[in-house]
Amino acid sequence: MIDLTVKLKNITFRNPVFVASGTFGYGIEIPDLVDISRLGAIITKSVTLHPREGNPPPRIVETASGMLNSIGLANVGVDRYITELIPRYESLETPIIMNIAGSSLDEYTAILRKVESVSSNIIGYEVNISCPNVKKGGMQFGVDRELTARLTEQLRKCTERLLIMKLSPNVTDITAIAAAAENAGADAVSAINTVVGMGIDAITRKSKIYMTYGGLSGPAIKPIGLAAVHKIHRKCSLPIIGIGGITCGNDVVEYLLAGAIAVEVGTANFRNPGIVQAIVRDLYTYCKEQKIDQISGLSGGVETYP
């Protein structure tokens, strides 16, 4: 019998394949063809203190091996999230991790306090300190060790639920930020968010994205994500959730070998909302062919040259 389960804090997930924030809505707008009971977990799109319209279009554009987006954290705000969405999670079997974003320490804390004050089956929070698409806040936290530490510490005081800090690749040394989150009490880090990029139309000579710069995602960023996970794994001992460019079971295995204990699939959901089910099937086949009983045993197993 092959065991695909993984453990994070005190929670056992049925498999290590989660869906990434911003690519699967709030977890309830699910097409009929997707069996969400096959997902390891759902990370919701980022929720902020106040509702946000997001950035003007164009805010999504395809690239050679992925996409550029500048959605700008469009969402309903935490109050509507609490009244309209949280009650709908009661009937879901799949674990829900709420992703939150803010433009100040107080804003992040206010969101968490509000959600913690109501009863819900949310199992934890992923804290977006790495959004490249907003003018205020967002990435400002994820590029600064001190701010990351203060924010983590403050949020840790507000919740005993799983606390995951989502890191940005747009930094000089991602391991320093991961270490700051670890020392301040985070249960895990997830890496990576999108990589800052730009698109230009040679004929119209215009920027392809209204906000000029956007976040690059998809297969183009997988090597960046793998290196980030591997470096964090070398320096820190907290669990890592790997993100970036995953489209098949082998991609997941690569992230696990680099040091992740679970992964999130983002952009690939837009091409095929049922992709995670296929990826989980791939993983099962991989384990069978490679005679692996427990997928969690792969974590950090990459062999590097001396």
Ligand X SMILES: Cc1cc2nc3c(=O)[nH]c(=O)nc-3n(C[C@H](O)[C@H](O)[C@H](O)COP(=O)(O)O)c2cc1C
Q: Which are the catalytic amino acids?
A: 131
User: Hey, which residues between 146 and 175 contact ligand X (CB under 6 A)?
Assistant: 166
Coil, helix or strand at residue 211: coil
Rule CB under 6 A: say whether 218 interacts with ligand X: yes
Instruction: Report the residue from 266, 279, 283, 286 that binds ligand X according to the rule CB under 6 A.
Output: 266
Nearer to ligand X, 167 or 295 (CB): 167
Nearest in space to 169 (alpha carbons), one of 132, 209, 218:
132
Helix ranges (DSSP H) in 43-144: 78-80, 105-116, 139-142
Q: Binding string to ligand X for residues 61 to 100, with x set by CB under 6 A, is what? A: ------x-x-x-x-------------------------x-
Beta carbon of residue 60, minimum distance to ligand X (angstroms, whole number)? 6
And the tokens for 200?
């230009």
Q: Candidates 200-208, 213-221, 226-234, 282-290: pick the segment binding ligand X (CB under 6 A).
A: 213-221
Give CA torsion, residues 59, 273, 189, 136, to 10 deg. 20
Backbone angles phi, psi at 132, to 5 degrees: -85, 0
Beta carbon of residue 23, minimum distance to ligand X (angstroms, whole number)? 5
Q: What is the spatial distance between Cα 149 and Cα 145, in angstroms, rounded to a whole number?
A: 6
Coil, helix or strand at residue 190: strand
Rule CB under 6 A: say whether 221 interacts with ligand X: yes
Q: Which positions touch ligand X (CB under 6 A)?
A: 20-23, 45-46, 67, 69, 71, 73, 99, 128, 131, 166, 193-194, 217-218, 221, 243-246, 265-268
